[in-house]
């Protein structure tokens, strides 16, 4: 996640006034604006050197030049406006634009850091409109500025304004979110065979009748609710209703209870089929250093950002902050971390890890051409192509040989100063800087590079080797510098991402290096780490600063020879049980319930669901899969605000996430975030001024507003979409089980011979079969017998027309090659599409 510039830290964004409220305010306080009607000319109003102010038919007008990049490139303003701390002001004006434009109306500090006390984005028409806002001053100030920022247009236009007024004594507006009907459902829908629950907000304390109706308004199921009392996370008295027994597919179902009817939803086996691709497609439009093609993403095309083309200073030769190093690095590429232009190794690490982990869970589920990206058609799964875009950036952040701290990774790279919204990446004029190395960043690089080494080996041996070499260097450098922590005060122009406990990153990195190499050094480190046996399953979930869970999950699921592997797998099941118990107790079915919700709470919810999904993979027990399905209901509408947090999914969904280029709310010429973008969600700390203005005293689930200026509650980030991609891919896996058991044995190292026995443990004959599994890394099948084998990447498919009768088995074998590293027996086999039990 990112933190916004100092100017935004004190932003108190507008709330529109009704005419009655504005009139009341006008009666309460003296006028603060001098010559707001322009009866005496233009003074004391001023403009930047590129505009000439004039009075035209009683209005102040100016011709605004085209070809400017930023809103602040053209300004009209008035100085020396007094403000009183705690006073609520009514601010209003009339303005027109020819042709129609969006401007920025600000009341701010007149010097750096230009702290904004009110920020509005009026959409001005040719005929002109009146605009009214309220804000409460957080400080007393004798000399604030009223300014209109009017730059950033490619074409020239004309601006006129009149009746500018600022008066104290206004009544503060009370923010009431529109939560719609009191029956809360997953607005996307439910799987026919999955759990189907809804939450009813009501004052009733006894059970209520409910009805499920189809699109023709016919009642198809009914029952009674279960009172749950007051939900601490929302402050609401709620009931739960369960219609899991109804399984008939259909569209536009609704539920009626307590006189309220829910928003419509579907029941269908394919409700999540598009979500994994949409969640992954988010990353292409987050790319830095490459043109985003409108032909691939209609409406999202833009020039390449930060490639050294003016006004960019670029990422092709980035110097360090003063005193940090004496070299520059080419760190072009990677993903922009969030809604700003920063790129961070620690946040990039968990993000690219989760994309690669989703692939490693089921390599056959991801195809070439799936995401419609520039690399589609190259014979490699698109998800790996997208992950590589970020992984190559992470590699580029490693300190070169011969330099101080060689092998370590720079913590981050971003602008020297914060920029405002909106600002397309290719128009960012700020100097870019490398920040000091950190142990956390170095270990993130070691972990993801080790993971990439095994996953890319079947497709690009040279890239795999490059990653493994980088991982080894990073590991050695981190061991030599185990306590280089990011400065918590290094937050100008980008987030600090500070972390003063990196024992979890050491454990994660050692786990990935062990899985890839099988080497004793890394196994011994894993076994000695306190994170290996400790309870790492936080109520709040794992995230970029808590990564031991990543190592534990991979040690449990990726084949390896760890001596206590059974205990590791059992510990994941215990973590899942913990989250399952939290979910069962929560009236909204939420597997996350701290007393206060964290920044990015939605990604923590999803990460807890990853643990439960992994438990299903390990055990096949339906309760874990059902828990993941129910947890997704919260993300898609079964919540206190009755809204989906994924853009484009559900009747009411987040669409104004904080971003400098998905900034439609500020500039109608720019798009909203792409379909499949997750919002961070409720955040009890409400750090941004808009949230502080509107949400003060909020219950955790209500600490959210879908507004572009609410960077604390409504940001988008690469590490929030990564668990969405992982979980949605899990949800599209129908999880069928086959009655079979597979025994796989292999002998030899570089060249090996394997024998596979398939046993039919069911009651019916298997008449012709196809068995699928995946190798760990770059192993290749060379010669087969007893079945016909084919291979794509790491995925091997064996086929035969023979029969397998109940209680009987068939055997086949092959010779193979293993270029390097361990060669563990595969552990997951799919027979005729179903996973062997």
Residues 6+ apart with CB under 8 A from 315: 288, 289, 306, 307, 308, 330, 331, 332, 333, 343, 413, 432
Compute how many other C-beta atoms are within 10 angstroms of the C-beta atom of residue 638.
Answer: 26
Query: Is 306 annotated in the active site?
Result: no
Q: Quick one: tokens of 707?
A: 């507004």
Q: CA 505, 507, 508, 509: dihedral to nearest 10 degrees?
A: 80
Q: Say if CB 65 and CB 158 are below 8 A apart.
A: no
Mind giving me the DSSP string for 621-639? Answer: -HHHHHHHHHHHHHHTT-S
Q: Which of 818, 337, 821, 787 is nearest to 829 (CA)?
A: 787
The structure tokens listed for 586 are 């929560």
Pick from 233, 256, 244, 232: nearest CA to 181 = 256
Q: Which of 80, 105, 103 is nearest to 91 (CA)?
A: 105
Residue 782 has phi, psi (to 5 degrees) of: -115, -40
Considering only CA atoms, give the Rg of the chain: 29
H or E segment to which residue 164 belongs: strand 157-168
410 annotated active-site: no
End-to-end C-alpha distance for the chain, whole angstroms: 40
Give dist(CA 363, CA 371) in Å, integer.
15
Which residue in the list 658, 688, 784, 830 is annotated as catalytic? 658
Token reading at 131:
């605009």
Collapsing DSSP to helix, strand or coil, 795 comes out as strand
Give the strand order in the sheet containing 740-748.
Answer: 740-748, 751-760, 809-817, 780-785
d(CA 669, CA 665): 10
Tell me the C-alpha distance between 36 and 12, whole Å: 22
Of 621, 835, 609, 549, residue with least CA distance to 730: 609
Quote the Cα angle for 524-530-535, to 5°.
Answer: 130
Question: For residue 645, which of 615, 610, 676, 683 has the smallest C-alpha distance?
Answer: 676
The active-site residue out of 340, 368, 633, 688 is 340
* Annotated catalytic residue 706: yes
Torsion of CA 723, 726, 729, 730, to 10 degrees: -100
Q: Is 56 a catalytic residue?
A: no
Of 382, 415, 709, 715, catalytic:
715
CA 819 – CA 456 distance, rounded (Å): 13
Catalytic member of 173, 386, 415, 706: 706
Which residue numbers are catalytic?
A: 340, 658, 706, 715
């Amino acid at each position: 996640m990112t933190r916004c510039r100092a100017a935004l830290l004190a932003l108190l964004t507008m709330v529109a006034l009704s005419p009655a409220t504005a009139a009341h305010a006008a009666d309460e306080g003296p006028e603060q604006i001098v010559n707001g009607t322009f009866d005496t000319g233009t003074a004391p109003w001023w403009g930047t050197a590129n505009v000439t102010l004039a009075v035209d038919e009683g209005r102040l007008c100016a011709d605004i030049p085209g070809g400017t990049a930023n809103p602040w490139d053209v300004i009209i303003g008035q100085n020396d406006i007094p403000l009183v701390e705690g006073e609520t002001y009514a601010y209003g004006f009339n303005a027109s634009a020819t042709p129609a434009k969006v401007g920025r109306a600000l009341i701010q500090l007149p010097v750096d850091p230009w702290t904004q006390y009110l920020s509005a984005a009026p959409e001005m028409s040719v005929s002109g409109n009146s605009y009214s806002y309220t804000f409460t001053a957080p400080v007393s100030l004798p000399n604030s500025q009223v300014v209109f920022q009017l730059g950033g247009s490619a074409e020239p236009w004309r601006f006129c304004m009149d009746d500018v007024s600022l008066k104290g004594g206004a009544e503060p507006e009370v923010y009431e979110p529109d939560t719609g009907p009191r029956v809360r459902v997953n607005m996307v829908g439910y799987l026919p065979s999955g759990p189907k629950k809804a939450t009813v907000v009501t004052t009733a304390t006894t059970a209520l009748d409910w009805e499920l109706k189809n699109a023709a308004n016919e009642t198809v199921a009914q029952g009674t609710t279960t009172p749950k009392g007051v939900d601490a996370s929302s402050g609401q008295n709620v009931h739960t209703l369960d219609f899991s027994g109804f399984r008939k597919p259909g569209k536009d179902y609704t539920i009626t209870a307590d006189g309220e009817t829910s928003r419509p939803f579907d029941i269908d086996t394919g409700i999540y089929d598009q979500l994994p691709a949409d969640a992954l497609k988010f990353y292409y439009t987050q790319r830095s250093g490459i043109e985003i093609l409108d032909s691939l993403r209609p409406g999202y095309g833009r020039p390449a950002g930060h490639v050294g083309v003016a006004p960019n200073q670029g990422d092709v030769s980035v110097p360090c902050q003063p005193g940090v190093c004496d070299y520059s690095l080419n760190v072009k590429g990677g993903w922009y971390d969030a809604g700003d232009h920063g790129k961070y190794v620690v946040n990039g690490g968990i993000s690219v890890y989760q994309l690669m982990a989703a692939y490693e869970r089921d390599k056959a589920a991801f195809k070439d051409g799936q995401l419609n990206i520039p690399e589609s058609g190259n014979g490699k799964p698109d998800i790996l192509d997208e992950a590589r875009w970020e992984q190559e950036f992470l590699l580029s952040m490693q300190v070169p040989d011969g330099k101080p701290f060689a092998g370590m990774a720079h913590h981050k790279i971003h602008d020297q100063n914060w920029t405002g919204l909106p600002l397309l990446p290719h128009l960012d004029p700020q100097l870019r800087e490398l920040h000091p190395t950190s142990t956390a960043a170095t270990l993130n690089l070691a972990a993801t590079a080790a993971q990439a080494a095994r996953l890319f080996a079947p497709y690009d041996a040279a890239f795999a080797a490059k990653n493994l070499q980088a991982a080894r260097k990073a590991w050695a450098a981190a061991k030599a510098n185990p306590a280089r922590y990011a400065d918590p005060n290094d937050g100008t122009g980008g987030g600090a991402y500070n972390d003063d406990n990196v024992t979890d990153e050491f454990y994660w990195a050692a786990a990935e290096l062990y899985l890839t190499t099988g080497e004793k050094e890394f196994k011994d480190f894993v076994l000695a780490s306190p994170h290996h046996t400790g309870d790492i399953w936080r109520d709040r979930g794992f995230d970029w600063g808590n990564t031991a869970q990543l190592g534990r999950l991979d040690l449990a699921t990726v084949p390896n020879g760890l001596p206590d592997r059974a205990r590791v797998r059992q510990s994941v099941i215990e973590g899942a049980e913990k989250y399952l118990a939290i979910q069962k107790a929560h009236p909204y079915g939420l597997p996350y319930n701290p007393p206060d919700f964290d920044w990015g709470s939605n990604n923590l919810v999803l990460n807890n669901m990853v643990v439960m999904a992994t438990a299903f993979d390990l055990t096949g027990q339906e309760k874990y899969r059902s828990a993941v399905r129910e947890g997704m209901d919260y993300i898609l509408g079964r919540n206190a605000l009755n809204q989906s947090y994924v853009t484009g999914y559900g009747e009411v969904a987040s669409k104004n996430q904080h971003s400098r280029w998905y900034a439609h709310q500020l500039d109608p010429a720019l798009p909203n975030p792409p379909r499949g973008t997750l919002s961070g969600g409720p955040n009890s700390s409400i750090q941004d001024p808009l949230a502080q203005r509107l949400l003060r005293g909020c219950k955790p689930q209500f600490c959210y507003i879908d507004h572009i200026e609410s960077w604390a509650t409504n940001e988008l980030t690469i590490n929030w979409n990564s668990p969405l991609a992982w979980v949605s891919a899990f949800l599209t896996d129908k999880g069928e089980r086959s009655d079979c058991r597979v025994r796989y044995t292999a002998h030899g190292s570089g060249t090996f011979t394997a024998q596979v026995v398939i046993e039919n443990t069911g009651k019916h004959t298997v008449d012709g079969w196809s068995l699928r599994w995946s190798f760990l890394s770059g192993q290749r099948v060379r010669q087969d017998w007893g079945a016909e084998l084919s291979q794509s990447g790491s995925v091997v498919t064996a086929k035969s027309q023979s029969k397998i009768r109940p209680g009987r088995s068939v055997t086949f074998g092959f010779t193979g090659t293993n270029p390097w590293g361990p060669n563990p027996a595969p552990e997951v086999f799919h027979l005729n599409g179903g996973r062997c039990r």
